[in-house]
Amino acid sequence: MILAFPLLVSHQGLGRLLDAVSDGVIILDADGRVTGMNRAAERLTGVAAPGRTGSALTAAGSGLALLLQDWSPGLAFPPRLLDLPGGRTLVEVIDLAEGDKGSGPAAAVILRDPAGSATIRAELEESERRFRSVIEAAPMGIHMYDIAADGSLVFAGSNPAADRILGVDNSKFLGKTIEEAFPPLAWTEVPARYRDAAKLGKVWRTERIDYQDGVIRGAFEVTAFHTSPDRMAALFVDITERKRTEEERWKLTLMMENIGEMVSMATPDGRLFYLNRAGRQMLGINPEEVSNFRVEDIVTDGVRDFILQSALPELLAGGGWAGESQYRNVRTGQVTEVHAIIMGIKNP
């Protein structure tokens, strides 16, 4: 039915057939102008036959107008419920162009009356019930938002984990716009990304880190996704401790890179996995080459035998060693006498 609709202008019989179906069908060209619509679409949009123009259609209902403002050739929108002059309507936009940039039809807007389809309504309700049960039991925090008639993003609910993670009763945000509920987000990309998830079905992932006095106060991994027509959810996981650990590791690495003494780290089998700048200069090893070398490659033969036979077993037993040692530049062969301290490090 949809693929044949572009022939409506030249085939009156097909036009009468489409006028007989209960679903509304509107055809858009690449500029978003209406090139055809059936009688069901007239009834649901409130646009009479003489007014079948793009401007009249976008004025027919604010929800549909906002939807079409976000449309461009190649986009397809999943079904969503909108308030139109003809009542609550399930609206879906289907891409017809399939990469064709010619003058043909670009998209079909399908309008369905959910009140006339008990099956669709029951499926939507059952899907929402299942989704709600999953949300309530989820260990990660979840915030839910709806797109209001004026296009604002309104807080619609949360789960118990959100209260626990944020340490606040999120029910106090119900009915507020995202900017009212969380003022610091008003100046970020978050509201726009959440709207894209609700209206266009786009998935967005990000990490948000809050600092206080130069220290990480809180960090969250956020995933925003479409849940149902004009609705979305933001799933967030507390990654504060992970980020604090990463920052401490970064500070430690920065310190080791800038000290004047060689610092190296190796696996129990002797494979190097870290060598600071002073060590790389002394041994003639480039940063990207570090993991290509083993401990026995950077010491003299006598030191190598001692490490393998005495020092390594002591380290694996939880001990350590300190004494004079000799390291060899892998490119020039130059030997450097050093006082070495070797210790074992266990993962926590």
Query: How far apart (Å, rounded) are the C-alpha atoms in residues 221 and 208?
Result: 7
Instruction: For residue 226, give the nearest of 153, 159, 170, 144 by alpha carbon.
Output: 144
pLDDT tens per residue across span 244-264 = 777 788 888 888 888 888 888
* DSSP string for 314-342: HHHTT-EEEEEEEEE-TTT--EEEEEEEE
DSSP label at 31?
A: T
pLDDT tens per residue across span 52-94 = 444 445 545 556 777 777 777 777 777 777 777 777 788 888 8
Q: What is the reported pLDDT for 1?
A: 28
Determine the residue type at 253. T
Please tell me the least confidently modeled range out of 64-68, 83-87, 294-298, 329-333: 64-68
Q: What is the reported pLDDT for 5?
A: 34
Q: What is the reported pLDDT for 191?
A: 92
Q: Which CATH number fits domain 139-242: 3.40.50.20, 3.90.1150.10, 3.90.226.10, 3.30.450.20?
A: 3.30.450.20
Mean pLDDT across the stretch 189-197? 91
CATH 3.30.450.20 applies to domain 259-343? yes
Q: What is the reported pLDDT for 218?
A: 65
Instruction: For residue 57, give the nearest of 41, 40, 73 by alpha carbon.
Output: 41
Greater model confidence, 273 or 319: 273
Helix spans in the chain (H): 12-20, 39-45, 54-58, 62-69, 118-137, 160-166, 178-181, 190-200, 240-258, 277-283, 301-306, 312-316
pLDDT tens per residue across span 337-347 = 888 887 777 66
- Domain limits, the chain: 5-116, 139-242, 259-343
Q: What is the reported pLDDT for 15?
A: 59
Beta-bridge mates of residue 90 = 81, 112
pLDDT tens per residue across span 139-169 = 888 999 999 988 899 999 999 998 988 888 9
pLDDT tens per residue across span 219-251 = 788 899 988 778 899 988 887 777 777 778 888
The class that CATH gives domain 5-116 is: alpha beta
Determine the residue type at 290. V
Per-residue tokens: 333: 């062969």
Instruction: For residue 27, give the nearest of 50, 60, 3, 47 by alpha carbon.
Output: 3
Q: Give the rounded distance of the alpha carbon of 6 from its chain centre.
A: 37
Is the pLDDT at 292 greater than 80? The verdict is: yes
pLDDT tens per residue across span 89-108 = 888 888 776 555 556 677 88
pLDDT tens per residue across span 21-60 = 778 888 888 777 787 788 888 888 877 654 444 444 554 5
Counting beta carbons within 10 angstroms of the beta carbon of residue 264, is it exposed (0 to 12), middle (13 to 18) or buried (19 or more)?
buried
Q: What is the reported pLDDT for 101?
A: 56
Instruction: For residue 282, give the nearest of 238, 311, 235, 325 by alpha carbon.
Output: 325
Mean pLDDT across the stretch 267-279? 87
Q: Tell me if 270 sits within 8 A of 239, measured CB to CB.
A: no
